[in-house]
Structure 1
């Protein structure tokens, strides 16, 4: 274990987080709010702590596979622990455990909240909540990787630990170049979304914060009514944006490289859009009697389908009042999630497809015992290691899910509430159903349950294993 290098990476995380806090400080100054001063002071203290922590550059800059997982998990814990403090200093969220829940929900792009009145927050704090979505969407370490002078193998070990999906793709030979390309695409799409919302007549502050939430597939709104008060055009823009950010970023890279045929041949992307069309169509039909027109039903259905499958969590309606069929479809979408390599959460469409192919192969083996067929995905054979990793992922996922439900059930909420609360946090969705539905929040859970749900949010964002490895005794033993 290269402890000095881990400390070096953590110090950079602190410095970057401190610098990022200067943005809400600036927003506070623009709106003449005293809360901005808290972000300024705490941001500078974070920068100072980062400088003290890495006063000397490590002689060995190598990050091994185990180190990469520890670096990533500790970095995200540090982001939350330090990022929650301004909420407490300003007094807007006075209890630290609630502030920690709120900001971890932000960084992990979950969007689950403990607040019943978000409009009571200052503009600086509202911006910090949404900005945390944007930072966490692509991953803060991906940004740092574009800056740090490290060897390619070390960078790849960090990317593997932080990137969502069963595999990690390099766009260009240099991994640092891949990190830069990712953020260029991410920033470009975010700016395009902001521009579209501004042109539709939305207020500047709302446009920026909602665009950052859509980009990171988070779900923090700036109004108590969520996105219900916005015009139909603005809701459609957000729908398209959410769905776009749920696509594998490799798709956009191929399109930019004028390899459109290769991009649209992706089985995952095609399945992703097919699921959205089918789910949106069925819900539109099922909820049509509840709305004034078919147009309103379609708009509302596709907004919520796009919001849930991409794990964004924005809402324009209380879908807890929808018919059971529509609610069941939304719960299924919570588990499916977005594409691998996107900013979305969930199990991921690619894993679901490979699992279905595995089931098909096993059924074929029963009917034709002598047949030998390999599972193929996008015309490439799926390696045994990938299949094993997916199976292990699902087992661990179910164990964490079951354990979390067991613990939070102590607080006495209904089965539907607890089931969807874990689904909403482990899949980084945001709202669940019943008492954690789109018009409710997670405030009612006790401190222990909130800590469990905080762990679920971090584990879900980091694909489970980086968080679990912190509790594995051999992780902390020296090599040799």
Structure 2
């Protein structure tokens, strides 16, 4: 939209968008090289498949033109990281969002430098906006909570599907597919498969994960804190 309106100054300061494009472009290039080295299609067909899957996953669109589970292992790692990352802030994409990743990385750098230079004054910005200590701590807490819920949800998947002898890849892959609202996952819920074989209770649980991921955690988790419900 900024390009269409020719708002070049705003585009230059849009740090999150530039990082999102850089991450997607780098992931697509690396995946395409891996596919081309393994298959005989050549680089450009591999690049076309890789770029489509990367954009679909990173934007949580959920489409797939190929079975990416047949790709090299490091390509699947890239895809999994893109699932967790999600899109940019303000978009309908699920995941953590690029802005939170930038805040996390810069907060980590700030803490490392501060340990050796406690008197140094820092000015931390994302997209030209200054971040105070409270905003940084809220972001780090959100990421920690997101990761904690991811682990707990994977555990419950194993418990719910115990009778079906679910494997670890499918258990984690189902959470990858639903909590960030991706669509396809890994294992028995990969891009060429579906969720039909899961138990009804499991489907309800995964549906709740989708709602939880779409509403950014806090809006749903607050319902499980009785004191807040009574107060407000």
Query: Do 1:291 and 1:297's aligned partners in 2 also have CA atoms closer than 8 Å?
Result: no
Is it true that 1:457 corresponds to 2:210 in the alignment?
yes
Aligned position for 1:446: 199
Pair 282,258 (structure 1): closer, same or farther in 2 beyond 3 Å? closer
C-alpha deviation, 1:257, in angstroms:
5.7
Q: Which of 362, 366, 383 is matched with 2:132 structurally? A: 383
Q: Deviations over 1:1-20 (max 9, x none)?
A: xxxxxxxxxxxxxxxxxxxx
Which of 102, 110, 115 aligns to 1:366? It is 115
SS at match of 1:339: coil
Distance in 2 separating the partners of 1:297 and 1:353? 30
| TM-score between the two structures when normalised by the length of structure 2 | 0.91
Corresponding residue of 1:259:
7
Tell me, in whole angstroms, the C-alpha distance in 2 between the residues paired with 1:273 and 1:385.
28
Task: Provide the C-alpha distance between the structure 1 equivalents of 2:115 and 2:133, rounded to a whole number of angstroms.
Answer: 20
- Is the contact between residue 179 and residue 212 of structure 2 (CA under 8 Å) also seen in structure 1? yes
Shift of 1:287: 0.3
Give the number of equivalent residue pairs.
Answer: 227
- Per the alignment, residue 99 of structure 2 pairs with 350
Structure 1 stretches of 5 or more lacking a match? 1-251
User: Alpha-carbon deviation of 1:275?
Assistant: 0.5
Instruction: Specify the alignment match of 2:87 in structure 1.
Output: 338
- In structure 2, distance between residues paired with 1:446 and 1:344: 27
- Give yes or no for the alignment of 1:419 onto 2:172: yes
The answer to whether residue 171 in structure 2 is matched with residue 399 in structure 1 is: no
Tell me the residue number matched to 2:72.
323
Contact 2:170 2:189 in 1 (8 A): yes
Within-5 A mapping of 1:147-158: none
Displacement of 1:386: 1.9
Q: 1:435 aligns with which of 180, 188, 209?
A: 188
Distance 1:276 1:396 in 2: 25
Match of 1:477, SS? helix
Shift of 1:446: 1.6
For the 8 Å contact 2:13–2:128, the answer to whether it is kept is no
- For the pair shown, the structure with the greater C-alpha radius of gyration is 1
Q: Give yes or no for the alignment of 1:275 onto 2:23.
A: yes
Deviation at 1:419, TM superposition (A): 1.0
Q: Deviations over 1:292-324 (max 9, x none)?
A: 232211100101111111111211100011110
Provide runs of 4+ in structure 1 moved above 4 Å: 254-258
Shift of 1:390: 1.0
Aligned residue among 215, 219, 224 for 1:471: 224
Where does structure 2 lack aligned partners over 5 or more consecutive residues?
Answer: none
- Displacement of 1:273 in angstroms is 0.6
Counterpart of 1:298 in structure 2 is 47
2 CA distance for matches of 1:255 and 1:373? 32
Give the Cα–Cα distance (whole angstroms) in 2 for the partners of residues 311 and 372 of structure 1.
38
For 1:382-426, what per-residue CA distance to the aligned partner results, in whole angstroms no more than 9, with x for missing partners?
A: 123321221221222123212211111021311111112111111
